[in-house]
Protein backbone atom coordinates (compact mmCIF):
# COMPACT_ATOMS: atom_id res chain seq x y z
CA UNK A 1 0.00 0.00 0.00
CA UNK A 2 2.69 2.53 0.99
CA UNK A 3 4.83 1.78 -2.09
CA UNK A 4 1.85 2.37 -4.39
CA UNK A 5 0.97 5.63 -2.61
CA UNK A 6 4.59 6.77 -2.78
CA UNK A 7 4.64 6.10 -6.54
CA UNK A 8 1.47 8.16 -6.99
CA UNK A 9 2.83 11.05 -4.93
CA UNK A 10 6.09 11.01 -6.93
CA UNK A 11 4.15 10.89 -10.19
CA UNK A 12 1.99 13.89 -9.28
CA UNK A 13 5.06 15.68 -7.98
CA UNK A 14 7.03 15.13 -11.21
CA UNK A 15 4.12 16.36 -13.33
CA UNK A 16 3.81 19.47 -11.16
CA UNK A 17 7.50 20.24 -11.56
CA UNK A 18 7.18 20.02 -15.35
CA UNK A 19 4.31 22.53 -15.31
CA UNK A 20 1.54 19.96 -15.73
CA UNK A 21 -0.34 19.99 -12.41
CA UNK A 22 -2.86 17.12 -12.42
CA UNK A 23 -4.46 17.77 -9.03
CA UNK A 24 -4.88 20.78 -6.75
CA UNK A 25 -2.35 21.72 -4.07
CA UNK A 26 -4.90 20.76 -1.42
CA UNK A 27 -5.34 17.27 -2.92
CA UNK A 28 -1.58 16.80 -3.22
CA UNK A 29 -1.04 17.92 0.39
CA UNK A 30 -3.59 15.34 1.55
CA UNK A 31 -1.79 12.57 -0.34
CA UNK A 32 1.51 13.68 1.18
CA UNK A 33 0.02 13.62 4.68
CA UNK A 34 -1.37 10.12 4.09
CA UNK A 35 2.02 8.91 2.94
CA UNK A 36 3.73 10.57 5.90
CA UNK A 37 1.34 8.81 8.28
CA UNK A 38 1.81 5.39 6.63
CA UNK A 39 5.52 5.47 5.82
CA UNK A 40 7.38 8.54 7.17
CA UNK A 41 10.79 6.99 6.37
CA UNK A 42 10.18 6.33 2.67
CA UNK A 43 12.57 7.61 0.00
CA UNK A 44 10.24 10.42 -1.01
CA UNK A 45 10.54 12.17 2.36
CA UNK A 46 14.20 11.26 2.78
CA UNK A 47 14.95 13.26 -0.36
CA UNK A 48 13.00 16.30 0.90
CA UNK A 49 14.21 16.52 4.48
CA UNK A 50 16.97 19.03 3.80
CA UNK A 51 14.57 21.83 2.89
CA UNK A 52 11.04 21.18 4.19
CA UNK A 53 8.34 23.45 2.77
CA UNK A 54 4.94 22.00 3.63
CA UNK A 55 1.90 24.19 3.13
CA UNK A 56 0.46 25.93 6.18
CA UNK A 57 -2.77 24.85 7.88
CA UNK A 58 -5.59 27.18 6.90
CA UNK A 59 -8.71 28.69 8.46
CA UNK A 60 -8.55 26.72 11.72
CA UNK A 61 -7.73 29.63 14.00
CA UNK A 62 -9.90 28.36 16.87
CA UNK A 63 -8.06 25.02 16.89
CA UNK A 64 -4.73 26.83 16.52
CA UNK A 65 -5.37 29.05 19.55
CA UNK A 66 -6.73 26.21 21.69
CA UNK A 67 -4.45 25.49 24.62
CA UNK A 68 -2.51 28.73 24.37
CA UNK A 69 -2.49 31.11 27.32
CA UNK A 70 -4.47 34.32 26.68
CA UNK A 71 -1.28 36.42 26.84
CA UNK A 72 0.77 34.23 24.45
CA UNK A 73 2.77 36.52 22.18
CA UNK A 74 1.81 36.11 18.52
CA UNK A 75 3.23 37.55 15.30
CA UNK A 76 0.82 38.58 12.52
CA UNK A 77 2.23 38.62 8.98
CA UNK A 78 0.75 39.08 5.50
CA UNK A 79 -0.04 35.88 3.60
CA UNK A 80 1.70 36.89 0.40
CA UNK A 81 0.34 35.24 -2.74
CA UNK A 82 3.30 33.94 -4.72
CA UNK A 83 5.52 30.87 -4.82
CA UNK A 84 7.08 29.42 -1.65
CA UNK A 85 10.85 29.05 -1.93
CA UNK A 86 13.47 27.65 0.43
CA UNK A 87 17.04 28.95 0.32
CA UNK A 88 20.04 27.04 1.59
CA UNK A 89 23.38 28.65 2.39
CA UNK A 90 26.52 26.75 3.28
CA UNK A 91 29.26 28.72 5.05
CA UNK A 92 27.71 31.93 3.81
CA UNK A 93 27.25 31.00 0.14
CA UNK A 94 23.86 30.46 -1.52
CA UNK A 95 24.02 26.91 -2.86
CA UNK A 96 20.44 25.71 -3.30
CA UNK A 97 16.93 27.08 -3.88
CA UNK A 98 13.87 24.86 -4.19
CA UNK A 99 10.12 25.25 -4.60
CA UNK A 100 7.55 23.66 -2.29
CA UNK A 101 7.28 20.72 -4.70
CA UNK A 102 11.04 20.16 -4.71
CA UNK A 103 11.97 21.79 -8.01
CA UNK A 104 15.52 23.15 -8.04
CA UNK A 105 15.30 26.82 -9.11
CA UNK A 106 18.69 28.00 -7.87
CA UNK A 107 19.72 29.81 -11.06
CA UNK A 108 16.35 31.59 -11.24
CA UNK A 109 16.35 32.75 -7.63
CA UNK A 110 19.93 34.00 -7.79
CA UNK A 111 18.68 36.59 -10.30
CA UNK A 112 16.23 38.09 -7.76
CA UNK A 113 17.68 41.27 -6.16
CA UNK A 114 16.16 40.56 -2.73
CA UNK A 115 18.10 37.31 -2.39
CA UNK A 116 21.64 37.81 -1.03
CA UNK A 117 24.24 35.66 -2.78
CA UNK A 118 26.26 35.56 0.43
CA UNK A 119 25.47 36.02 4.13
CA UNK A 120 27.71 36.33 7.17
CA UNK A 121 26.71 32.97 8.65
CA UNK A 122 28.91 29.92 9.02
CA UNK A 123 27.61 26.38 8.62
CA UNK A 124 24.14 25.51 7.33
CA UNK A 125 21.59 28.33 7.09
CA UNK A 126 18.11 27.75 5.64
CA UNK A 127 15.50 30.41 4.90
CA UNK A 128 11.87 30.22 3.84
CA UNK A 129 10.20 32.97 1.85
CA UNK A 130 7.89 33.90 -1.00
CA UNK A 131 8.62 34.93 -4.58
CA UNK A 132 5.97 37.44 -5.70
CA UNK A 133 5.18 40.54 -7.75
CA UNK A 134 4.82 43.53 -5.38
CA UNK A 135 3.06 45.65 -8.01
CA UNK A 136 0.11 43.22 -8.11
CA UNK A 137 -1.12 44.12 -4.62
CA UNK A 138 -4.65 44.52 -5.97
CA UNK A 139 -4.58 41.24 -7.92
CA UNK A 140 -2.92 38.59 -5.71
CA UNK A 141 -3.59 35.67 -8.08
CA UNK A 142 -1.68 37.49 -10.83
CA UNK A 143 1.30 37.73 -8.48
CA UNK A 144 1.30 33.96 -8.02
CA UNK A 145 0.91 33.29 -11.74
CA UNK A 146 3.76 35.59 -12.66
CA UNK A 147 6.09 34.10 -10.05
CA UNK A 148 5.22 30.58 -11.20
CA UNK A 149 5.61 31.52 -14.85
CA UNK A 150 9.06 32.95 -14.20
CA UNK A 151 10.19 29.78 -12.44
CA UNK A 152 8.91 27.53 -15.24
CA UNK A 153 10.11 29.59 -18.19
CA UNK A 154 13.67 29.46 -19.50
CA UNK A 155 13.94 33.03 -20.70
CA UNK A 156 11.48 35.16 -18.69
CA UNK A 157 12.74 38.29 -16.90
CA UNK A 158 12.89 38.71 -13.13
CA UNK A 159 12.94 42.50 -12.82
CA UNK A 160 9.27 42.65 -11.75
CA UNK A 161 9.62 40.10 -8.95
CA UNK A 162 10.73 40.30 -5.31
CA UNK A 163 11.52 37.80 -2.58
CA UNK A 164 10.25 38.24 0.97
CA UNK A 165 11.96 36.19 3.69
CA UNK A 166 10.01 35.33 6.82
CA UNK A 167 11.44 32.23 8.49
CA UNK A 168 14.77 30.65 9.39
CA UNK A 169 13.97 26.96 8.85
CA UNK A 170 16.80 25.60 10.99
CA UNK A 171 16.92 28.51 13.43
CA UNK A 172 16.76 28.68 17.22
CA UNK A 173 15.50 32.24 17.63
CA UNK A 174 11.91 33.28 18.28
CA UNK A 175 9.96 34.63 15.31
CA UNK A 176 10.45 38.31 16.12
CA UNK A 177 14.21 37.95 16.56
CA UNK A 178 14.41 35.75 13.44
CA UNK A 179 12.89 38.54 11.34
CA UNK A 180 15.27 41.12 12.81
CA UNK A 181 18.23 38.83 12.11
CA UNK A 182 17.12 38.22 8.52
CA UNK A 183 16.87 41.97 7.96
CA UNK A 184 20.33 42.48 9.43
CA UNK A 185 21.72 39.91 6.98
CA UNK A 186 20.28 41.83 4.03
CA UNK A 187 17.00 40.01 3.38
CA UNK A 188 13.71 41.76 2.70
CA UNK A 189 11.26 40.87 5.47
CA UNK A 190 7.49 41.45 5.59
CA UNK A 191 5.68 44.11 7.52
CA UNK A 192 4.37 42.45 10.68
CA UNK A 193 2.43 43.10 13.86
CA UNK A 194 2.99 41.76 17.34
CA UNK A 195 0.16 41.10 19.76
CA UNK A 196 0.26 39.86 23.33
CA UNK A 197 -3.31 38.60 23.57
CA UNK A 198 -4.89 35.85 21.49
CA UNK A 199 -8.13 37.85 21.44
CA UNK A 200 -6.43 40.47 19.23
CA UNK A 201 -6.13 38.05 16.30
CA UNK A 202 -9.69 38.72 15.18
CA UNK A 203 -9.02 42.46 15.25
CA UNK A 204 -6.11 42.10 12.82
CA UNK A 205 -8.17 39.69 10.75
CA UNK A 206 -10.89 42.31 10.33
CA UNK A 207 -8.38 45.06 9.60
CA UNK A 208 -6.97 42.99 6.77
CA UNK A 209 -10.47 42.22 5.44
CA UNK A 210 -11.19 45.97 5.44
CA UNK A 211 -7.95 46.63 3.49
CA UNK A 212 -6.43 48.53 6.40
CA UNK A 213 -3.59 46.08 7.00
CA UNK A 214 -0.86 44.76 4.69
CA UNK A 215 -2.53 46.39 1.70
CA UNK A 216 0.82 47.04 -0.01
CA UNK A 217 1.26 43.32 -0.61
CA UNK A 218 -0.59 40.89 -2.91
CA UNK A 219 -2.22 38.91 -0.10
CA UNK A 220 -4.98 36.36 0.24
CA UNK A 221 -5.06 36.38 4.04
CA UNK A 222 -2.89 36.75 7.11
CA UNK A 223 -0.53 34.35 8.89
CA UNK A 224 -0.61 33.95 12.67
CA UNK A 225 2.59 32.63 14.28
CA UNK A 226 3.53 31.71 17.83
CA UNK A 227 6.53 33.87 18.69
CA UNK A 228 8.22 31.65 21.28
CA UNK A 229 10.63 29.09 19.82
CA UNK A 230 10.05 26.89 22.88
CA UNK A 231 6.30 26.79 22.21
CA UNK A 232 6.97 26.19 18.52
CA UNK A 233 9.01 23.09 19.35
CA UNK A 234 6.31 21.85 21.72
CA UNK A 235 3.77 22.16 18.91
CA UNK A 236 6.07 20.35 16.49
CA UNK A 237 6.45 17.47 18.93
CA UNK A 238 2.75 17.34 19.87
CA UNK A 239 1.33 17.51 16.37
CA UNK A 240 4.14 15.74 14.52
CA UNK A 241 4.42 18.50 11.92
CA UNK A 242 6.24 21.80 12.21
CA UNK A 243 3.78 24.17 10.48
CA UNK A 244 1.20 24.03 13.27
CA UNK A 245 2.91 26.77 15.23
CA UNK A 246 1.74 28.99 12.40
CA UNK A 247 -1.55 29.07 10.55
CA UNK A 248 -3.05 31.01 7.66
CA UNK A 249 -6.43 32.73 7.73
CA UNK A 250 -8.03 33.21 4.34
CA UNK A 251 -11.39 34.71 3.37
- Model confidence pLDDT, tens digit, residues 57-101: 776 788 888 888 989 999 999 999 999 999 999 999 999 999 887
Q: Which of 170, 172, 152, 56 is nearest to 108 (CA)?
A: 152
Give CB contacts under 8 A, 24+ apart, made by 167-172.
Answer: 167/127, 167/128, 167/129, 168/125, 168/126, 168/127, 168/128, 169/51, 169/52, 169/86, 169/126, 169/127, 169/128, 170/124, 170/125, 170/126, 171/229, 172/229
Provide the strand spans (E) within 123-211.
124-132, 162-168, 193-195
- Global confidence as pTM: 0.79
Position 114 scores a pLDDT of: 93
149-182 tens-digit pLDDT: 999 887 777 889 999 999 998 889 999 999 999 9
Q: Provide the 8-state DSSP code for 54.
A: P
Helix (H) or strand (E) segment spanning residue 21: none
11-63 tens-digit pLDDT: 887 766 555 678 887 787 778 778 777 776 777 765 554 566 767 777 678 88
Task: Tell me: pLDDT of 186 over 60.
Answer: yes
Query: 45 CB contacts (<8 Å, ≥6 apart)?
Result: 35, 36
Kindly report the number of other CB atoms within 10 A of residue 135's CB atom.
Answer: 14
Q: Assess contact for 44 and 10: CB atoms under 8 A.
A: yes
Position 150 scores a pLDDT of: 93
Task: Select the CATH number that applies to the domain covering 61-250 from these four: 3.40.50.300, 1.10.357.10, 3.90.230.10, 3.30.470.30.
Answer: 3.30.470.30
Domain-by-domain residue ranges, the chain?
2-46, 61-250
Percent of the chain at pLDDT > 90 equals: 56
Q: What is the mean pLDDT of the chain?
A: 87
Question: 75 in helix, strand or coil?
Answer: strand
Q: Assess contact for 103 and 17: CB atoms under 8 A.
A: yes
Task: Tell me: pLDDT of 240 over 60.
Answer: no
Q: Which of 140, 98, 173 is nearest to 251 (CA)?
A: 140
CA–CA separation, 94 and 116 (whole Å): 8
Q: Assess contact for 58 and 247: CB atoms under 8 A.
A: yes
Position 67 scores a pLDDT of: 83
Amino acid sequence: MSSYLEERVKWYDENYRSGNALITDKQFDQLERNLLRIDPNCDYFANKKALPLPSLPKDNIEEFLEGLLPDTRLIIEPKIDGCAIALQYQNGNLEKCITRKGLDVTSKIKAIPDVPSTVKVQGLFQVRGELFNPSEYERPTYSQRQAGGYLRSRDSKSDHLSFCSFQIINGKLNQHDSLKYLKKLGFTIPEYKSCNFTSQVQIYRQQWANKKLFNNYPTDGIVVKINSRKLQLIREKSYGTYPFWQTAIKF
